[in-house]
Amino acid sequence: MNSSTSTSLPRLAQRLDDIEPFRVMAILARARALEAEGRDIIHLEVGEPDFATPEPIVQAGIAALQAGHTHYTPALGLSALRQAIARYYDERYGVELAADRIAVTPGASGGLLLAMTALFNPGDEVLLADPGYPCNRHFARVVEAEAKSIAVGPDTGYQLTAELVTKNWGPRTRGVLLANPGNPTGSVIDADSLRAIHAVVREKGGWLLVDEIYHELIYDRAEPTAAGLGDDVIVINSFSKYFLMTGWRLGWLVLPEALVPAVDKLAQNLFLAAPTLAQHAALAALKPTTRALLEAHKAELKARRDYLLPELQRLGFEVLAKPAGAFYLYADCSRFTDDSEAFAEHLLQEPGVAITPGTDFGAVEGRSHVRFAYAVELGRLKEAVQRLERCLS
């Protein structure tokens, strides 16, 4: 039988009007189409490192498959993995956490959904920085809470501060979501500022959530974590970026003890559990022997940043957000255009360099900014700079 066609469909949910697609995905699709025509495109748009998952992690995945680990795990994850993550906080940050405060999630995305669902009612307001990662705002929208974007700029290092949180806290505000390091800027909130924000949020009686998915990718300074601030903070983390496990879809939450039963029942209902295979593989990601490989990749990312930042500045981009972490440069392109989307399209079509318009990340400065992801090898970065130079000079 063939599907019969209906002429009109019932209406969709209103929240769809407030949830934007990633422009970067459309750019990626057009880049792929150009490649299919034989063009050579340099991909500085995608927020995913080019490195494959390191071999010890892959081998642990294969071993898990061979051992038949294909059934569900408990909703909050394998006990051994929760313990290993807790130990990691102690060894890496000197923060002691009970293993049952760790919830293993299907990516940081799954963690954010669990946290938002557990904490916020319709109409509750959550403060976030603009520019910022758009999904963080959209997760709030899904549960009918409201993300209140606060413009940040060079004066606060492109991050929220205790002062901004105090100033913007309203009668409906119930929490703050920070990203540290941030995307698209790579900016970092230091430990003192983190403590000051936490003190304000606690005093206001709200929740502090900190997205630390680019943890361990901070290049020149001490690595802060909010996990040690107190047991009223929620940390969202991921095996995707530093551990190079994007496609495995695995993350975790550090939760207040009192929140664990609520998140457990939500995880049972919303996900059943995170992928079993990825959980077994992640045990290998946390082993000291894997660390040397991961640190080599981190050094490579730092070398890319150290090359690309001055080159972009030389070409006429202004980079006011100090890119201390992650693998992004958020660059002011207003010397060249007042329309970052048209500019990104032009750079894709002409010199074949794919970048992301700032409009993916914020309403305030989005049209005058673009994001460069240094997720391709140094040789390709150099080629990209040469192409940009020819096109923009």
Question: What residues numbered 358-387 form the site for a second copy, per CB under 8 A?
Answer: none
Nearer to a second copy, 200 or 321 (CB): 200
Q: Which is nearer to a second copy, 61 or 131 (CB)?
A: 61
- Site for a second copy (CB under 8 A): which residue of 106, 131, 181, 358? 106
- Output the smallest distance, CB 42 to a second copy, in A: 17
Contacts of 306 (CB under 8 A, 6+ apart): none
- Residue 353 Cβ, how far from a second copy at the closest point, in Å? 20
214 binding a second copy? (CB under 8 A): no
With CA atoms as reference, report the closest residue to 384 among 325, 339, 331: 331
CA distance 186 to 248: 23
Write out the binding residues for a second copy, residues 144-173 only, by CB under 8 A.
144
Report which of 136, 125, 120 is spatially closest to residue 170, judged by C-alpha positions: 125
- Residues in contact with a second copy, total (CB under 8 A)? 93
CA 253, CA 265: separation in Å to the nearest integer?
Answer: 15
196 in contact with a second copy (CB under 8 A): no
Q: Which stretch binds a second copy (CB under 8 A): 18-26, 313-321, 337-345, 349-357?
A: 18-26
Please answer whether residues 58 and 282 qualify as being in contact, where contact means their C-beta atoms are separated by less than 8 angstroms: no
* Closest CA relative to residue 317, chosen from 352, 351, 344: 344
Question: Residues with Cβ < 8 Å from 287, sequence gap 6 or more?
Answer: 56
Residue with smaller CB distance to a second copy, 9 or 222? 9
Whole-angstrom distance, CA of residue 312 vs CA of residue 12:
43
Over its C-alpha atoms, the chain yields an Rg (Å, rounded) of: 21
Q: How far is the CB of 67 from a second copy (least distance, A)?
A: 10
With CB under 8 A as the contact rule, the residue among 36, 37, 38, 66 that binds a second copy is 66
Tokens of 64: 């898990």
If binding is defined by CB under 8 A, does position 260 make contact with a second copy? no
**Among 38, 258, 292, 393, interactor with a second copy by CB under 8 A:** 258
Q: Is residue 25 within the footprint of a second copy (CB under 8 A)?
A: yes
Q: Closer to a second copy at the Cβ: 227 or 384?
A: 227
The interaxial angle of helices 378-392 and 288-315, nearest 10 deg, is 10
Q: Taking CB under 8 A as the rule, does residue 245 contact a second copy?
A: yes
